[in-house]
Amino acid sequence: MNQKDKFYRAYMDFFETAERKRRWNIFDDVPWDQISPETNSEQRAIRIETYCAEEMYLPDYNIAGVEMARGVFGLAWFQTAWSLEESRHGLVLKEYLLRSGLRSPAQIDKLETDPRLISPIAHRKSARSSRTINRSRQFSSCSAATKPRTQASTAR
Ligand SMILES: [Fe+2]
């Protein structure tokens, strides 16, 4: 078995265990109805917000991880699966902050858009992303050729 096959096998073993034993979701598996806003404190808010902020780097970790691992199927898919799991952590912390009343939607929005939370990777990628968005717009107008043409799609 070559190295690439070993990574694939390792990923599939991990994935099978994860699918059978570790899956959870933030909608059904978190006892949201047991939140006690009367126990809220600024100290608790700061602690949770700190971990939530760390999780907000996930897109940056994922960009770098996928770029490093893309050539090896097992590694790239592990990176992708890991990213999904990590996204749950960030979302559950954000939802806890909001549902408990520890933070308002405006405070969460401010946290998410804080430039200190946008890593150099994201800054570097932002120029590339805008080019990609423009290209995907071109692509979607190309794929629209298979659909009935509307006035909007023919105007491009
Ligand atoms: Fe996490």
CA of 148 to the centre of ligand 1 (A): 45
Q: Note if the pTM is more than 0.85.
A: no
Q: Is the dihedral of CA 43, 45, 48, 54 positive or negative?
A: negative
Please, what is the average pLDDT of the chain? Answer: 82
CA of 141 to the centre of ligand 1 (A): 38
In Å, the largest CA–CA distance within the chain is: 58
CA of 23 to the centre of ligand 1 (A): 14
Q: How many CB atoms lie within 10 A of CB 28?
A: 7
> Which residues touch 11 (CB under 8 Å, ≥6 apart)?
73, 74, 75, 77, 78, 81
User: 94: closest CA among 58, 48, 59?
Assistant: 48
Give the pLDDT confidence of 27-56 residue by residue, as tens digits. Answer: 999 999 999 999 999 999 999 999 999 898
Domain ranges of the chain: 3-27+41-118
